[in-house]
């Protein structure tokens, strides 16, 4: 990695921490500005690190970051405009679907090996558990059941696809991306519980800290590949 990586990391996390502080001190303009900076920073880092930005896979990675940014921009206004939920979920859904294509490596036969299959089944079981929890919540609108199901399937598919990278890419890249995807799962789980099951005041920290850390690890891991 280039020498500026350390400074990039420090600046990225300083902005992320300031974003959390702004949320809990109710400084909305500061929260919006800092959140809007995070994904463009990751896009710039990946663009500067990849050898060929026009390569189809690299374009797909940059687009996935762009749609995550769209999701950030729409979801930040959710408290004052509940209608932004659907555009926000759609943006993140596109990001997850792109991740499936970006992460997928190897063949179905390789994914049926005991270790990969077991981990995939564990992720699938968690997806079923999460969706069942949200589905049975009295606060979930009937019209949201199918969108939440599709979104859950996309999350689980991305997790399983990230496992397929094992043995196909260098260990550092695999570990970074896999850790990032797990943190993204934590973030989405907290978001779903807070939104549809049981709202809690401190939701922003366990939702956003894993989110921007997960995105950071995914992008850095893909750049390391």
pLDDT of 44-54, one tens digit each? 999 988 767 66
**Domain extent listing, the chain:** 5-224
C-alpha distance from residue 78 to each of 72, 87, 135 (Å):
10, 10, 21
H or E stretch covering 38: helix 28-49
* Alpha carbon of residue 165 to chain centroid: 17
Angle at 80 between CA 74 and CA 81, to 5 degrees: 55
Reported as a pLDDT band with limits 50, 70 and 90, residue 99 is very high
pLDDT at 90: 93
Question: What does the buried/exposed string (b/e) look like for 68-107 if buried means 16 or more CB atoms within 10 Å of the residue's CB?
Answer: bbbbbbbbbeeeeeeebeebbbbbbbbbbbbbbebbbbee
What integer is the mean pLDDT of 201-211? 91
pLDDT digits (tens, 9 = 90+) for 179-193: 999 999 999 999 999
- Residue for token pair 């179905």: 108
What is the pTM (predicted TM-score) of this model? 0.92
Share of the chain above pLDDT 90, in %: 66
pLDDT at 79: 75
Distance CA 91, CA 39 (A): 13
pLDDT at 109: 67
- Measured N-to-C along each axis, helices 56-75 and 28-49 cross at an angle, to the nearest 10 degrees, of 180
pLDDT at 108: 64
């Amino acid at each position: 990695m280039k020498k500026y990586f350390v400074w990039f990391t420090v600046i990225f996390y300083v902005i992320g921490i300031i974003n959390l502080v702004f949320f809990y001190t109710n400084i909305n303009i500061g929260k919006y500005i800092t959140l809007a900076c995070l994904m463009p920073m990751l896009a710039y880092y990946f663009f500067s690190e990849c050898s060929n930005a026009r390569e189809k896979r690299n374009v797909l990675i940059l687009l996935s970051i762009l749609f995550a940014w769209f999701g950030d921009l729409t979801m930040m206004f959710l408290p004052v405009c509940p209608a932004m939920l659907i555009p926000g979920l759609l943006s993140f859904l596109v990001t997850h679907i792109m991740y499936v294509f970006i992460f997928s490596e190897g063949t179905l036969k390789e994914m049926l090996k005991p270790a990969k299959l077991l981990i995939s089944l564990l992720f699938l079981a968690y997806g079923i558990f999460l969706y069942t929890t949200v589905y049975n919540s009295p606060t979930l609108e009937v019209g949201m059941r199918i969108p939440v199901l599709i979104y859950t399937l996309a999350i689980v598919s991305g997790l399983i696809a990230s496992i397929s990278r094992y043995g196909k890419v260098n260990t550092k890249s695999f570990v970074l991306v896999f850790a990032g995807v797990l943190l993204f799962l934590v973030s989405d789980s907290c978001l779903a519980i807070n939104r549809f099951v049981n709202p809690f005041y401190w939701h922003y920290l366990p939702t956003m800290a894993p989110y921007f850390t997960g995105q950071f690890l995914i992008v850095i891991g893909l750049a390391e590949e």
